[in-house]
Amino acid sequence: MSEYQAPGVFIEEIRFGAKPIEGVGTSTAGFVGEARFGPRDTPVGPLASFADFVREFGDNNGEATYSADPSAFLRHAARAFFLEGGTRLWVVRVAGDQAGGERGRARASDFDRGLTALDPIDDVAMIAAPGSTFVGDGERRRDAWDVASLLIVHAERMRYRIAVVDAPNGADASEFADWRSRLASSYASLNYPWVKSAGPHGCDLLLPPSGFVTGIYARSDRERGVSKSPGNEIVRGAIGLERDIDDGEQSSLARSGINCVRQFPDGTIRLWGARTLTADPDWKYVNVRRYFIYLESSLASGLQWAVFEPNGERLWQNVRRAVSDFVYDEWQSGALAGRKVDEAFFVECDRTTMAQDDIDNGRVVVLVGAAILRPAEFVLIRVTIQTSHCDSRPGTSMG
């Protein structure tokens, strides 16, 4: 309590301990790909428009044909991202080695360096490598699969990102299904087929779907929230597809976790699927995985204040209050199932969630259960806060 030396009215700001948790952003994308200009292996952004991209990486002088210049894919993907509703984009330019004065195609090792460059950019929630799965005449598909695997490894390692993977161009359904069978993760979506879009000078482009899909994710997040499935959203920049998918193929591909882009009799072209590449039924939907990424990341960021607090009953009470208030707001917004609070979520942080060894070593363990809309079952989030001998941010784990 302050001591006042004269009569008067004095106002003080008093900290009550728990700080409110704010939801993190979910719609920032990170692209790694080839371009003719711009810094190499360096994150550039956040870009807020296609004009920002052109200013940093050039416009390829309007080159349009995908077969002539693979470096055009990144440019067209950035354009598609903003056209579909994206608003924040980080870009890392990669390039192959020079040989005899000619620029070589970027290989998997180049994309690996580019993805690593995105590590410190905390707000990136989606990653893609537009053009990495392009296979020209006579080229092997090995690098395409390697880059897809690198995207998945990166998303799983970073924990708060999802990889948006493109199918190889020119693959029929059976060939693509075999290619997909070697990929597995709840942190990735795989999209098929390539998309036709209007290009400059009246020509049509055949483009990888990731630029469109990440833009649709961002648009759906903004308009409906990250808990809403992005399936059935119109692909605004599409005028056609590399190949049409019928109902039979759609059913088979969906069972394999492949998300199709389809054209319907009314002329609309839609993202007709939102599944991840996992056989685990808890995580087979993109919106479920992305929503829990959002929850975990928000809790990890919003509980930073607790790291150096004394580990005792008062801290546990403050943590429970902060987490409960945040998840309650999520339920009120319609993101969680349940007619009543106790059907929608629970938050525990006391001696039932912590052993004496946890307390002695400065660990606060919070258990959060949230009833997702589909399936409407409790999925547990275990949050451990290291309150002493550590300056790292809180982490989360699934239980």
Query: pLDDT tens digits, residue range 252-292?
Result: 888 888 999 999 999 999 999 899 999 998 899 999 999 99
Same domain, 265 and 306: no
The answer as to whether 217 is a domain residue is yes
Same domain, 323 and 262: no
The answer as to whether 362 is a domain residue is yes
How many structural domains compose the chain?
2
pTM of the model: 0.87
Confidence of residue 15 (pLDDT cuts 50, 70, 90): low
Confidence of residue 392 (pLDDT cuts 50, 70, 90): very low
Same domain, 327 and 368: yes
Same domain, 316 and 214: no
Range in 220-234, 325-339, 383-397 with the lowest mean pLDDT: 383-397
Same domain, 257 and 326: no
Helices (H), the chain: 50-57, 72-84, 108-117, 142-158, 173-180, 210-224, 247-255, 286-302, 313-332, 341-344, 356-360
Same domain, 251 and 120: yes
Residue-wise pLDDT for 97-156, tens only, equals: 765 555 678 889 999 999 999 999 999 999 999 999 887 755 556 678 899 999 999 999
The answer as to whether 86 is a domain residue is yes
Same domain, 70 and 192: yes
Same domain, 264 and 349: no
Mean pLDDT, range 315-319, rounded to an integer:
94
Confidence (pLDDT) at 395: 52
The answer as to whether 18 is a domain residue is no
Residue-wise pLDDT for 290-311, tens only, equals: 999 999 999 999 999 998 888 8
The answer as to whether 211 is a domain residue is yes
Residue 326 to residue 158: CA distance in whole angstroms: 23
Positive or negative CA dihedral for 63, 262, 334, 380?
negative
Q: Which of 182, 206, 194, 147 is nearest to 257 (CA)?
A: 182
Residue 135 sits in which domain range? 29-224+231-273
Cis omega before residue 200 (within 30°)?
Answer: no
Q: Which of 257, 202, 259 is nearest to 235 (CA)?
A: 259
Range in 37-41, 66-70, 146-150, 341-345 with the lowest mean pLDDT: 66-70
Same domain, 46 and 163: yes
Inform me whether the pLDDT recorded for 160 exceeds 90: yes
Inform me whether the pLDDT recorded for 393 exceeds 50: no
Mean pLDDT, range 17-46, rounded to an integer:
92
Confidence (pLDDT) at 390: 47
Same domain, 42 and 174: yes
Confidence (pLDDT) at 10: 57
Mean pLDDT, range 235-251, rounded to an integer:
91
Token pair for 387: 């309150």
